[in-house]
Amino acid sequence: MSEKIIEFRHVKKAYGGNTIIDDLNFSVNKGDFVTMIGSSGCGKTTTLKMINALIEPTGGDIFVEGTNIRDRDPVQLRRSIGYAIQGSVLFPNMTVEQNIAYVPNLLNRKDKKRTEAAVDKWMKIVGLDPSMKERYPSELSGGQQQRVGIARALAASPEILLMDEPFGAVDEITRGSLQDEILRIHRETKITILFVTHDIKEALKLATRVFIMDHGEIQQYDTPDEVLRHPANAFVEKLVQRERHTCLLSEDRIGNCEFSAAACGYRGAAVQPM
């Protein structure tokens, strides 16, 4: 039986009289790669940020690794969860090494060797040459900056990595390379990833589970091949229509599409909202 690592129970988020999310219920299993996609303003980034307490829910409960986040110190919670966003937002006055070492230094205190080992490990995993340690963000390409941002998010070896449109600011070639890198990192580390994107092609390529939202509600939460084979409603069907046609496959073979979990080596039973 799969282990739940994140769980939302009747979560609500409102700003004054404007309700963004009314009653959100879902869970994420340990080791899943969940891509979150939907219309602009649908609540996906709000949902992501509630997991590490950057946004506080108006109602309901969120559990991370079995503990209600209301019972955890929000600073310690954030340090235990990797977080990478578009453009990476590196500290401009810090070198690559200092940026990646930031959270491990807070956690390891005086154990400098442990921090140095973490920096070396994650630079290697994300494909950064050791010679880049002393460079500053302004001396890096967009793709290199994003790799540093990912290494920084992972340097404390978290169980969960939250990513908010991390590849949105780079060119298509770099984006494809970064997508391949994050898939490889997921396979190697088995880390649980939640990844917000506006690109359905990216969502289908990366995910073991695709989380589709509209107006604060889950429209479908399923494997990529099930989303392609059996869109839950007209909204989902319209969202994936171009990708289904791009595959040029008959209905009985749509699971073999390059955007399908079957083609990426992922298999699993369909997951429905609670």
Residue that is last in its domain, among 112, 139, 158: 158
pLDDT digits (tens, 9 = 90+) for 39-57: 888 999 999 999 999 999 9
Same domain, 268 and 164: yes
**What residues make up the domain containing 97?**
86-158
Q: What is the spatial distance between Cα 107 and Cα 220, in angstroms, rounded to a whole number?
A: 38
The answer as to whether 182 is a domain residue is no
In a domain, 178, yes or no: no
Within 13 A of 229's CA, how many CA atoms are on the CB side? 14
Q: Find out whether 205 and 260 touch, Cβ atoms under 8 Å.
A: no
* Whether residues 76 and 205 fall in one domain: yes
Under 8 Å between Cβ of 221 and 209: yes
191 with 242: CB under 8 angstroms?
Answer: no
Note whether 74 and 198 are same-domain residues.
yes
Number of domains observed in the structure of the chain: 2
Residue 174 lies in a domain: no
Q: Mark whether 42 and 5 lie in a shared domain.
A: yes
What's the pLDDT band for 38 if we cut at 50, 70, 90? very high
**Would you say the C-alpha torsion 66, 70, 72, 75 has a positive or negative sign?**
positive
Average pLDDT, the chain: 87
The DSSP code for 231 is -
95 in a structural domain = yes
30 plus 51 within the same structural domain = yes
* 21 and 35 within one domain: yes
Q: Using an 8 Å Cβ cutoff, are 224 and 255 in contact? A: no
pLDDT surpassing 50 at residue 249: no
Contacts of 110 (CB under 8 A, 6+ apart): none
Side-chain-side CA neighbours of 243 within 13 Å: the count stands at 25
Grade residue 255 by pLDDT with cuts at 50, 70 and 90.
low
Gap between the Cα atoms of 175 and 163, Å rounded? 14
Burial class (CB in 10 A: 0-12, 13-18, 19+), 44: buried
Give the mean model confidence (pLDDT) for residues 98-121.
87
Cβ atoms within 10 A of the Cβ of 112, count? 12
CB 119 within 8 A of CB 101: yes
231 and 102 co-located in one domain: no
Strand partners, 34: 194, 209
Long-range pairs for 105-111 at CB < 8 Å and ≥24 separation? 106/79, 107/79, 107/156
Query: Based on the domain organization, do 68 and 164 belong to the same domain?
Result: yes
- Residues 44 and 164 reside in one and the same domain: yes
Task: Note whether residue 264 is domain-resident.
Answer: yes
Residues 263 and 128 in one domain: no
Instruction: Find how far residue 160's CA is from the centre of its chain.
Output: 9
Over residues 46-95, the pLDDT tens digits come to: 999 999 999 999 999 999 999 999 999 999 999 899 999 876 678 999 99
Same domain, residue pair 73 and 92: no
pLDDT band at 224 (very low <50, low <70, confident <90, very high): very high
Predicted pLDDT of residue 63: 98
CB-based contact 127:139 (threshold 8 Å): no
CA 27 to chain centre: 14
Determine how β-strand 209-214 pairs with β-strand 192-196. Answer: unpaired
Establish if 179 belongs to a structural domain. Answer: no
Of the candidates 90, 87, 96, which has an alpha carbon nearest to the alpha carbon of residue 136? 96
Extended strands (E) in 127-202: 160-164, 192-196
Same domain, yes or no: 164 and 154: no
Q: What CA–CA distance (Å, rounded) separates 127 from 93?
A: 22
Instruction: With a cut of 50, say whether residue 274 has pLDDT above it.
Output: no
- Does a structural domain hold residue 175? no
Q: What is the mean pLDDT of residues 158-171?
A: 90
CATH number at residue 56: 3.40.50.300
Q: What percent of the chain has pLDDT above 90?
A: 70
Nearest to 152 by CA among 176, 170, 128: 128
> What pLDDT shows up at residue 257?
59
Assigned domain for 181 exists: no
